[in-house]
Amino acid sequence: MKIRYLLTCLAVGLLTGLGGMVLSCLLHAIQHMAYGYSLSHVISEESFLQGSLAASPKRRLIVLISCGAIAGIGWGALRHFGRPLVPIPKAVAADKPIMPVLKTVLHVLLQIITVALGSPLGREVAPRELGSLIGERLAFWGKLSEEQRRIVVACGAGAGLASVYNVPLSGALFALEALLMTWSRPIIIVALLTSALAARIAWIALGNSIVYHVPPWPIDNALLFLAFVMGPVFGLIANNFSFWAQKISASKLKDNRWLALVAIGAFSIIGLISMYYPEVLGNGKGPVSLAFNDSLTASTAGQLFILKIVALFLALWAGAYGGLLTPGISLGALFAVVIGHVWNLWLPPISIGAFAIIGGAAFLASSMKMPITAMMLVLEFARPSHDFLIPMLLSVAGSVAVSYSLDKRRHIRQTANVISRLG
């Protein structure tokens, strides 16, 4: 049994790494064709932000309308035919294989295609779902125990995250903190093994690259103080963003006959926005890079913050699927840029780019409810100096404290409402 378990873990890491690599290459290829840049390369030095900025406003609108049509027709058909889709937490908690293979694969491909075409949602859910599916199938074929199956399904999701973003430690932490909620030593070993292997396999095509290249921003007492003071504010905004995102997702149109028209309408609005603000397109990587490098004014950052939220809510309401990881970092970073510029008007100046990095981590920690993974993700994404840990910890602590308090208060209020209705 131990040999089968070890071989299954190795296979999950290997196959998930290959799957993440293929999905990333597919995403880049579609982006290049849709927006007409770097057509001779699948992986190129030209970023999606640069390519979408170079495309004409009319082309951006047409691509987003096409994205809405694909999203509406694709997910409408998936909802109408076959078994329901199974989210990763449910697959981890189940006592048998429950993820429909073909439907899950199609769901994954739809996410990659729509994000490549400009959907404002994140691409990280697709490789995580593929990794979980791979783990579930291999556990079933290897006749593993129920506990071992749960572990490899969760670690497959973490390996998927590690493979597409080259964040092996964050992938392992995601499986442990967000899915398995344990720090058992044997499970830690499996999580580290699968994520490290998946990330290394993805290097074959994607290379050992850093997601965000940032200058060596200094850390001073003014930045420490601002990070500490603004932590609760990030928590307040992130918690409410997460609450409304869930509420809007739950209110998706139930009638599949109208889903395509609704999706085309919603993505057309996003396309119209992109004609003037192309930075809203995609998962938010472009705005994050601009914020981390202090390349945004307060006015531009504030406008992008609002428009990005509008675009995200429109996409969720239209029935599109995707992650909120990179979008969450982008919202935190953009809000931090606004606060940083206001601070610098009257108080001892801070490095705007440094505060954007801290704000991205603080926002993500509360919006995704995984503080340790959020901090490690930002650190692996940008690889700033070790000194960033102190202001980041201060800000994340305040953010999570406020977010937890709001969740608890909301839960108490909902419970009281239920009791009053029953009474």
**pLDDT tens-place string over residues 300-353:** 999 999 999 999 999 999 989 999 999 999 999 999 999 999 999 999 999 999
Q: Give the residue-averaged pLDDT of 265-281.
A: 95
Percent of the chain with pLDDT over 70: 98
Q: Give the residue-averaged pLDDT of 377-386.
A: 92
Give the pLDDT confidence score for residue 2 in this predicted structure.
83
Give the pLDDT confidence score for residue 8 in this predicted structure.
93
Give the pLDDT confidence score for residue 344 in this predicted structure.
95
Q: Which tens digits make up the pLDDT trace of 241-258? A: 999 999 998 777 666 677
Q: Which residue in 221, 212, 387, 355 sits closest to 287, CA to CA?
A: 212
Give the pLDDT confidence score for residue 84 in this predicted structure.
82
Residue 1 above 60 pLDDT?
no
CA distance 4 to 7: 5
Domains of the chain: 2-206 (1.10.3080.10), 221-422 (1.10.3080.10)
Q: DSSP 3-state assignment of 122?
A: strand
CA distance 347 to 343: 6
Q: Which tens digits make up the pLDDT trace of 216-244? A: 999 999 999 999 999 999 999 999 999 99
Q: Which tens digits make up the pLDDT trace of 190-207? A: 999 999 999 999 999 888
Give the pLDDT confidence score for residue 209 in this predicted structure.
83
Convert 216-246 to b/e letters by CB count within 10 Å (16 or more is b).
ebebeebbbbbbbebbbbbbbbbbebbeebe
- Per-residue pLDDT band for 260 (boundaries 50, 70, 90) equals confident
Convert 376-405 to b/e letters by CB count within 10 Å (16 or more is b).
bbbbbbbebeebbeebbbbbbbbbbebbee
Residue 26 above 60 pLDDT?
yes
Q: Give the residue-averaged pLDDT of 8-24.
A: 95
Q: Which tens digits make up the pLDDT trace of 54-101? A: 999 999 999 999 999 999 999 888 888 877 888 888 888 877 778 899
